[in-house]
Structures are given as C-alpha cells and as structure tokens.
Structure 1
Amino acid sequence: GNILSPSFPSNYGSGLSCIWIITVSEISYVQLKFNSFDVYEMDSPVCTRDRLEVSSINPHEGTATTLLGAYCNTNPPKGPIESLWNMLRVTFITDTTISAQGFWLSYR
C-alpha cells in the first residue's frame, strides 16, 4: 500500500496530526520504503517543527509502542524501515509555520 501526506505533491497544511496504523498477518513484519520525503525542519536534528514518527506496536502488550524514528529534512529516513512486530504506527505532525511537499511512502 501507499501513504501520502495530506495534499501531496503540493505542500501539506499547518497544525496537522495524522495517524495511520498498518497491520499485517501475525507472522509478518511491516516494511516502509520512502519514495519522496520533504518534511520541513529549519536546523534541529531532533525534528522539533514538522516530523514523521514511525513506531512499532507490540500486539502482545496492548498499545505498547517502540519509537523506531522521528524524521524530517535534517534527519531523513536512511533506507527502508522495518517493524519489530506485525503492527506499525505512522504519525505526521506539523506546526503552524512553514510547510513543505511532505512524503510518499510504500509499505508491504
């Protein structure tokens, strides 16, 4: 499947909080591949303005999650991301200032 930021390929809006949950069969893992990535950050490597967070959800512990990474232009994803279990949460958060094109990712 694919996930695109709101309005992609145009710039995304401000003040967004979007969450996607990806679930695959219990014996599988989720893998994300980024086809396009432009999430605004002025200069902080810890992505304090706009960010895309990827967390693995442990289905055996309710809603317990493990943050796999928080990504923006100063800390972009470096290759595919794989979940620890069969569920993955993708969270896109934007502030109220400058926006950018956003992202397009594929998952399997």
Structure 2
Amino acid sequence: MKNKKRFTPKMLAYIVTFSLIIGLFCIPSALASQMCFKCCGSGVWHTDNKIPCSGKGCNYCTKCNGCGGSGKIPDSAKRCGSCKGLGQVHSGKKACTGSGCKGCTPCKTCDTKGWVGA
C-alpha cells in the first residue's frame, strides 16, 4: 500500500498564510479605489453648464484634475466639504454657469481636486 499524505493542520496554516500575504500585496489599484467625485468616474470634466455634453467628449470637456483622467481616486479620499466635490466654490448671487463662472473661485481646501485625504 502506498502511503498517502493528508493535509495536516500545519500545512493548511502555511497555505492560508501564504494566500493572505499574496492577496494583501497583489491587490490591483483599480480594485482599491473609488469613483472620482469631480468627474463621476468618467475621467473628463464638462466645464460649461449652459451647453449640454454629448457624452463623447466636446470642446468644453477637459481631463479631470481630481483623478488625473483615470476616473478613480484612493479609497481613503473624502468628498471636500467646502466645494462639495466640484473643485470650485460659488459665492455669487446668480446661478453657477460652470468653470468660467465669475462667481466661482478655486477651492483652497482641496486644491481644486474635489476630495481631501489619502
């Protein structure tokens, strides 16, 4: 008869420990991030509220500076309380018209990214 080896508790503990270590260090950054608050995960930011965007990119769409165009920000990032994730603070009496609005100033709390932390 052949001597069949079975998994011992010690071998099982090694396998589980090895799997956990590999899992902790090999998590892709795409899985460890959340959607950007400023561009809603699209990577582009439409800068004019008067003209609607077709969704395919237009002359008023720019690369989002909140996420660098990737659409993802770190999990530890929190929405900026000053600008509510827009990167600009509106202080005028009239409605905001977008990035060229005369009543808007760049948010100093989040440095126009729309999020703080990380």
TM-score higher than 0.5: no
Structure with larger RCO (C-alpha < 8 A, sep 6+): 1
**Which is richer in strand?**
1
> Greater helix share, 1 or 2?
2
Q: Which of these two proteins has the greater Rg computed from alpha carbons? A: 2
